[in-house]
Amino acid sequence: MQSTSTASSEPALAQPAPVRRLMSLDALRGFDMFWIAGGEEIFHVLAKTTGWAWAFFMAEQFTHVEWDGFRPYDCIFPLFLFMAGVSTPFAVGSRLERGVAKSELARKIITRGLILVVLGIVYNNGLFTKPISDMRFPSVLARIGLAGMFGQLIYLYFPNPKVQYAWFAGLLLGYWAAMKLIPVPGCGAGVLTMDCSLAGYVDRSVLPGRLYLKVHDPEGLFSTIPAIATALLGIFSGKLLRSDGPSAHRDQKTLWLVLGGISCLVLGYSWGLVFPINKNLWTSSFTLVAGGWSILMLALFYWIIDVKKVSGWAFFFTVIGMNSILIYIAGEFIDFEYAAKFFFSGILSFFSEPIRAVGAVLAFLAVKWAFLYFLYKKKVFLRV
């Protein structure tokens, strides 16, 4: 892990060439991270303080489905992993074209993946030593690290598109077959409950420490298998956007993305009839549904920013996207809420309760964004 203050230095794998070559990717990454960083609290606070029906509806959309089903908020995490895949053809592909050895690239890819696993452990457990039995090892960062790592290695060592598609299909079909056909002791085969799923059983059997839901972890080891397919969907999209062949026209690329996203949604929702859409299990149907929406979001941002060149509005999100991993972990070590109260509590005290509550959330987000903007102006970015 390193920081950089040189604008001309070569981007690392965590923030690769698309930072300059694909503006829409950083904007979309920042848009995604905005909600992770606290943006969803705007609707929760509005619902709580006003009782407005539309606020309750929006607040519900920014919560996770308890088990089976899908809401927009369930797409936040897979969208981030998907974008890590989109950046791969720009970062790894450009280095391959310059003659960098595959072994060197593989070493960097694996190192980055393992660093993210370690950062995830620190994020979950802090810097102080805990008994292993009290530590949680799976994490969002670990899933991004491992799934992204294997997706990049497939891209690196299996350059034939047909083979990459075979990997994609094999991961989803193989996971489906395993979850449906392999029996779990005391439960049998194909029982997709929190207590009886194969994913939960494998994680309980092999992972040290504690699981997030005691008997199951939504970022567990076994369900990382279909998450690799999420990264591959991003890689396929990135290859299209970087291509110079018949689809080089940007409007055509946007259309292909839209068609690809719709196809994933149709297949995913259809598959969900027999293999439920479930984020906790990262089912194959969930992979396709979340991937389909992710592709459509990328198409929208790409069309507006890179095709139509309407990009001024995206600067707010680009600042966040340039340091997305940093702002994700910074809240564990920086008290942004205290800073927000210090700077804005006096002003907010003159307003009514609903305005104070919403204003407190906006102040919290403003302090975070100001912190990122300062780093952006200083050209300081967290690299992994």
Enclosing domain of residue 327 = 2-383
What average pLDDT does the segment 143-165 reach? 97
DSSP state of 263: H
- Per-residue burial over 24-56, b if 16 or more Cβ lie within 10 Å, else e, is bbbbbbbbbbbbbbbbbbbbbbbbebeeeeebb
CB 62 within 8 A of CB 75: no
What average pLDDT does the segment 159-187 reach? 97
Q: For 99-122, what is each residue's pLDDT tens digit?
A: 999 999 999 999 999 999 999 999
Q: Give CA separation, 83 vs 179, 298, 303, in Å.
A: 27, 9, 16
pLDDT computed for residue 353 by the predictor? 76
Q: How far apart are CA 313 and CA 298, in angstroms?
A: 16
Q: For 198-209, what is each residue's pLDDT tens digit?
A: 999 999 999 999
Q: What is the pTM of this model?
A: 0.89
Structurally, how many domains does the chain consist of? 1
Q: Name which of 40-44, 168-172, 354-358 the model is least confident about.
A: 354-358
Nearest residue to 119 via CA among 143, 135, 141, 134: 141
Q: Is the pLDDT of residue 343 over 90?
A: no
Question: Which residues lie closer than 8 Å to 160 by C-beta, 6 or more apart?
Answer: none
